[in-house]
Amino acid sequence: MLELISSNPVIRTLILIIVFGLVALVVFSISAITSRRMRVSRDLASLGGDGNSPTSETLTRQRTEGAWAKMVKRIEEAGLNLGDTNDSKLERQLKAAGYESESAPRIYTLVRLLLVFALPGLFLLNAYFQAEPPGLFQLYLTCALLAVLGLYIPNLFIRAKADRRRTEIINGFPDCLDLMLVCVEAGLGLEATLDRVGREMVTTHPRVAAMLTETTLLMRAGATREDALRRMGEEASVDEIRSFATLLIQSDKLGTSLATTLRVYSSEMREARRLRAEEKAHRLPVLLSIPLVVFMLPTMIGVLILPAAVLSIREVVPAMLGEPIQ
């Protein structure tokens, strides 16, 4: 068994990755337990001390500040700036993916830096334990490719999560419009409607509910309807939500019926959702043809050709070579 592990680089790599994952899991568990105990101690100390002191922090901030944010804060205090040159664009991308923390752009930059050094480091560690280490050019090329891959993996992850979040919002928004229509026809205003629908859709469509609840809180905090609705459309990063916000603003300015506006827009969004479902259904035969051609067609061709191939080997080839046919 040991000889097989030492001779096979793939098995060695898998073992190194498993060991690295186990060690990271143990370290993370120990640090989580330790930080939890320290946080409880700080909470008790802050409750017993003077709450007006400038060095004391609120319990809410201590609970919401995660380990990554603390790590970023310590790194920046050490002198390394993790801010991005295009911080506003990065912040919009992270918000579209669901990361709304103020420290999310710096955490994103830190993760990219860690992956840039971690992936080549794992490869060099694997190459060090090989019986025949690769050449210098191969090491340089592979490390460069792994560094570029570590630089772009977080970007791909953020884009995939943003697309998934956008799809969830688009699919859940027609149901939200139906509930809003019922509330408006029952006599509720726009702010009360958004609040009621946001509380009702927490379980079924949590992302839409969070978006509506945030808009309601902005209105209650003193923002105008136009500003709150425009911010909802911008932060959602979905064209349908932007159109809906613009429609509500125009309906509020022009004094048109809100129920009629919601009914028409809800019908349009349901029709668009039905068309998207039909499009996916029509794409299914084309997608199914790929595994059919790759896996089933060679097998069918082999089954059909096998009798003729056996006959050729037994009769045609000996006849061409002048041998007696068996």
Task: Give the pLDDT confidence of 289-302 residue by residue, as tens digits.
Answer: 888 888 888 888 88
Terminal CA-CA length for the chain: 49
Amino acid at 112: R
The pLDDT score that the predictor gives to residue 265 is 83
The pLDDT score that the predictor gives to residue 61 is 42
Mean pLDDT of 10-27: 74
Tell me: pLDDT of 49 over 60: no
Predicted TM-score (pTM) of the model is: 0.59
Tell me: pLDDT of 47 over 80: no
Q: What are phi and psi of 66, to 5 degrees?
A: -85, 180
Round to whole Å and give the CA distance between 119 and 112.
11
Tell me: pLDDT of 1 over 80: no
Cα within 13 Å of Cα(65), Cβ side: 14
- The two tokens of residue 100 are 């709304």
Round to whole Å and give the CA distance between 246 and 130.
62
pLDDT in tens, 93-151: 777 777 777 777 778 888 888 888 888 888 888 877 777 777 777 778 888 888 888 88
CA angle 79, 84, 86 (to 5 degrees): 155
Round to whole Å and give the CA distance between 261 and 177.
10
Which residues lie below 8 Å from residue 105, measured CB to CB, with a gap of 6+?
A: 83, 84, 87, 90, 91, 94
